[in-house]
Amino acid sequence: EVQLVESGGGLVQPGGSLRLSCGASGFISSTYDMHWVRQATGKGLEWVSAISTAGVTYYAGSVKGRFTISRENSKNSLYLQMNSLRDGDTAVYYCTRVGGSAFDVWGQGTMVTVSS
């Protein structure tokens, strides 16, 4: 079964750091572009970051310079290193796979809460 499972969310103070992980199963994640999308409670979907199969990275302006996306092919995993976290980063974070020029597989999400 094709599946994505996120982990690493939690409560962190403003200015703190957190590293999200996304484990893939049922497919080889290195052969797909992978993205992170977040959703604050009661709000819409917000794109966060992407990494191509060639390792090229892209970031939303709101996270550029603070977040780093990476992948570890040997572990079939995707990561999001989040530094200098702000209240506005509080959201459920989803990892998702690009298939057919769209997000065809989504994880269940992991909650990140930034609060003092």
Partner 1 sequence: QSVLTQPPSVSAAPGQKVTISCSGSSSNIGNNYVSWYQQLPGTAPKLLIYENQKRPSGIPDRFSGSKSGTSATLGITGLQTGDEADYYCAAWDSSLSVLVFGGGTKLTVL
Interface residue list for partner 1 (CB under 8 A): 35, 37, 44-47, 50, 58-61, 94, 100-104, 106-109
Of 60 and 83, the one with the shorter C-beta distance to partner 1 is 60
Nearer to partner 1, 74 or 101 (CB): 101
Distance CA 115, CA 18 (A): 13
What distance lies between CA 44 and its chain's CA centroid? 16
From the CB of 96, what's the least distance to partner 1, in Å?
8
**Phi/psi-derived region of residue 30, left when phi > 0, alpha when psi is between -120 and 50, beta in every other case:** alpha
**Contact partners, residue 102, CB within 8 Å, separation at least 6:** none
| In the complex, least distance from residue 15 CB atom to partner 1, rounded to whole angstroms | 25
Q: Specify the 3-state DSSP secondary structure of 21.
A: strand
Q: Please report how close the Cβ of residue 67 comes to partner 1 at its closest, in angstroms.
A: 13
Identify which of residues 82 and 92 has a Cβ nearer to partner 1 in the complex.
92
